[in-house]
Amino acid sequence: MTVSDPVVEDVVSTISRTATEIRQGLVGRRGTVDEENPSGETQAEADIWADELLEGRLTEIDGIGEYASEERATVVDCGADPDGDAYAIACDPLDGSSNLKSNNAMGTIFGVYDAALPARGDTLVAAGYVLYGPITTMVLATEESVSVYEMSGGERRLVQSDVTLPEEPVVYGFGGGVSNWPDEFEAFAREIETELKLRYGGAMIADVNQVLTYGGIFGYPGLESRPAGKLRLQFEGNPIGYVVERAGGRSSNGHRSLLTIDPDDLHERTPVHVGNAELIDRLEDRPT
């Protein structure tokens, strides 16, 4: 199954081919380097390698004006105007790379924006993620629908189309140290833990995929020590918010949809909450 927009299809096909190499190339790249990303986090060798691999291929696509990632400080200019006929790509090349040490799930997140970066989430025309689990899968959201593919040999095979969140939520996962949660979020979390099953693995992609599969809520709130939270709006919040909203759920920074936030900085952080609409409504309705 191909995407109707030929440029977006080129992006998705390129990421499909590259994802197989990224997964295979993780072997031997589990260590860290003596460098930090623009957000001040220690980089894994695999972070830098995956970013360079994606940047080298995605920037060669006709119709792509900008490339940006969590691993580099500035936007790469590809020579076309992203405010004209070109798109901009923002990605997290290896979400959950800290899981390399323990050999747990991780993934690649991408968003295709019809605007220069940093951009609002409602300018996305497609977004998705690759999950490196027992099976390598891609979840892709476009203006038409949300689809799931299995990945093998650089190719993708459609296994589910018109994906929607199950109506009855089952799982939840909340990030950040519990002792660092604001009181209002902790009160909400204590309600949720009596209703749903905990699923939290340290890679947002894996946790969100549980929510998309079974229904529920994922959240990484603002913390007492870090009110803006940990996750980046351009590379994580917007693409994942787009996927979940296209699947019939909601996204929120605790007050409104992630897709309506006007960004001030390429690496701007935001609290991220995604899941079934009723659960996000309850989160936003709590007194602050």
3-state secondary structure 43-72: EEHHHHHHHHHHHHHHCCCCCEEEEEECCC
Helical segments of the chain, H only? 6-25, 45-58, 183-192, 204-214, 238-246, 277-285
Q: How many CB atoms lie within 10 A of CB 166?
A: 15
Q: Is 47 annotated as a binding residue?
A: no
> Can you read off the two tokens belonging to residue 139?
């979840």
User: For residues 91 and 56, what is the distance between their CA atoms, to the nearest angstrom?
Assistant: 13
Q: Is 95 annotated as a binding residue?
A: yes
Q: Is 222 annotated as a binding residue?
A: no
Helix, strand, coil: what percent of the chain each, to 5?
Answer: 30, 30, 40
Q: Is 147 annotated as a binding residue?
A: no
E strand or H helix that includes residue 101 = none
Contacts of 230 by beta carbon, 8 Å cutoff, 6+ apart: 175, 176, 220, 223, 269
What is the Cα gyration radius of the chain?
18
Q: Is 101 annotated as a binding residue?
A: no
The answer to whether the CB of 129 falls within 8 A of the CB of 43 is no
Q: Is 225 annotated as a binding residue?
A: no
Q: Is 53 annotated as a binding residue?
A: no
Q: Is 122 annotated as a binding residue?
A: no
Q: Is 265 annotated as a binding residue?
A: no
Q: Is 200 annotated as a binding residue?
A: yes
DSSP letter (8 states) at residue 269: B
Closest among 173, 163, 251, 167 to 217, alpha carbons compared: 173
Residues flagged as binding site for Mg(2+) = 70, 92, 94-95, 236
Residues flagged as binding site for substrate = 95-98, 200, 230
Residues flagged as binding site = 70, 92, 94-98, 200, 230, 236
